Amino acid sequence: MISLQTKLKNLVLSNPTMLASGILSETSGSIIAAANSGAGAVVTKSIGSVPRMGYPNPTLIELKFGYINAMGLPNPGIDEFGKEIKDSLGCGVPIIGSIFASDEKEFAYLGKKMEEYGVAALELNLSCPHAKGYGMEIGISPEIVGKIVSKIKDEVQIPVFAKLTPNTHQLIEVAKAVEEAGGDGVVAINTVKAMSISIDFKRPILANRYGGLSGPAIKPIGIRCVYELYDALEIPIIGVGGIETWQDAVEYLMAGATALQIGSAVRKKGLGVFRSINNGLTRFLEKEGYSAINEIVGVAHELS
Ligand SMILES: Cc1cc2nc3c(=O)[nH]c(=O)nc-3n(C[C@H](O)[C@H](O)[C@H](O)COP(=O)(O)O)c2cc1C
């Protein structure tokens, strides 16, 4: 019997796949649909203190190898979102509440609210590449990240994961700051800052000009980040970026990820990706003579 069960400190998932933040995770209906489709956990859309419209259109460009998005963190605000969480709690898998804020006090406020609503863990969005005053703008500073994680750990009991940006030369320093502040894990990676220009209109396509690249194009960047983080950290790593198939999932696990998130592939291929990846993982483990998923976590480090 092959076990896909994985553990992120005291959070146990029946399989390592999660729905990534921001893709089909805005309403209780879509959160429940992802849980019913075989995801081992669901991460909500990133939620802030007050309602936010996001940027005007166009906010999403589809490319051959992924998407560039600059949604601008549209969300109904933490008070309104409580209902979506409460309506999702019976879905059978852990719900991870993603939050964004501009400083440690606001993060702590949002984290406590999410905990009251009943989420199993928090994901701190310290990495959105296109929202002024939020995300990556604060997530590239080890000092600020350390302060945020430390404050939030003082205020909540549930596990806290920090979602990191690849748009920095200080990935390891930031991740170490998370670990030293008591963070329970890191999520790597958010999107890669990018842009696209219309040659007909002779100007940037996105209303915000810059956005974040996701999908297969960023998988090698995500793999590199997870591999480097595994060498530097004791806390678990959740791998995300360009996972579409079970082979992509195996690559992330071998690089050192304990769990995985899937975003763009859900948008492109539908919710069936969770079952297809989990079935492929089970077959792979069986064929290779393993009995549990944790046996392949980080194996790519052993021979190098
Ligand atoms: C349309 C869209 C919206 C997103 N919204 C969020 C968000 O609200 N919060 C967040 O942390 N990440 C957000 N992301 C980033 C994804 O969660 C993920 O980190 C990234 O897309 C890489 O994974 P993928 O290649 O599987 O999509 C968003 C991505 C896309 C494409």
Catalytic residue chosen out of the listed positions 20, 32, 93, 128: 128
In this prediction, residue 129 carries a pLDDT of 85
Enumerate the H helices of the chain as residue ranges. 28-36, 78-88, 104-117, 136-139, 142-155, 171-180, 219-232, 246-255, 264-269, 273-288
Q: Yes or no: say if 164 and 174 are a contact pair by the CB < 8 Å rule.
A: yes
Atom of ligand 1 nearest to the CA of 20: 17
128 is catalytic: yes
Tell me which H or E stretch contains 203.
strand 203-204
In this prediction, residue 304 carries a pLDDT of 59
Nearest residue CA, atom 28 of ligand 1? 22
Ligand 1 geometric centre to CA of 72 (Å): 12
**Is the CB–ligand 1 distance for residue 140 below 6 Å?**
no
**Is the CB–ligand 1 distance for residue 240 below 6 Å?**
yes
Ligand 1 geometric centre to CA of 221 (Å): 15
Q: For residues 59 and 31, give the distance between their C-alpha atoms in angstroms, rounded to a whole number.
A: 22
Q: Yes or no: say if 61 and 212 are a contact pair by the CB < 8 Å rule.
A: no
- Write the CB contacts of 246 (distance below 8 Å, at least 6 apart in sequence): 276, 277, 278, 279, 280, 281, 283, 284
Nearest residue CA, atom 3 of ligand 1? 22
Q: End-to-end CA distance of the chain, in Å?
A: 30
Q: Smallest Cα–Cα separation from 242: which of 6, 67, 97, 98?
A: 67
- Write the CB contacts of 159 (distance below 8 Å, at least 6 apart in sequence): 8, 9, 10, 11, 120, 121, 122, 184, 185
Q: For residues 140 and 129, give the distance between their C-alpha atoms in angstroms, rounded to a whole number.
A: 11
In this prediction, residue 128 carries a pLDDT of 86
Atom of ligand 1 nearest to the CA of 187: 19
Q: Where are the domains of the chain?
A: 6-51+71-192+215-301
Which residue type is seen at 282?
Answer: T
* Residue of 43, 69, 98, 214 with the most ligand 1 atoms within 8 Å of its CB, for mutation: 214
Domain 6-51+71-192+215-301 bears CATH identifier 3.20.20.70: yes
Atom of ligand 1 nearest to the CA of 240: 23
Q: Which segments in the chain show pLDDT lower than 70?
A: 303-304
Q: Is the dihedral of CA 266, 267, 270, 276 positive or negative?
A: negative
Q: What is the pLDDT of residues 162-201, one digit of tens each?
A: 999 999 999 999 999 999 999 999 999 999 999 999 999 9
Q: How many other β-carbons are positioned within 10 Å of the β-carbon of residue 3?
A: 15
Q: Yes or no: say if 237 and 256 are a contact pair by the CB < 8 Å rule.
A: yes
Ligand 1 geometric centre to CA of 83 (Å): 22
Q: What angle do CA 58, 62, 68 make, to 5 degrees?
A: 70
Q: For residues 1 and 195, give the distance between their C-alpha atoms in angstroms, rounded to a whole number.
A: 46
Ligand 1 geometric centre to CA of 69 (Å): 8
Cα radius of gyration (the chain) = 18
In this prediction, residue 40 carries a pLDDT of 98
Ligand 1 geometric centre to CA of 47 (Å): 13
Nearest residue CA, atom 7 of ligand 1? 22
Q: Yes or no: say if 44 and 21 are a contact pair by the CB < 8 Å rule.
A: yes
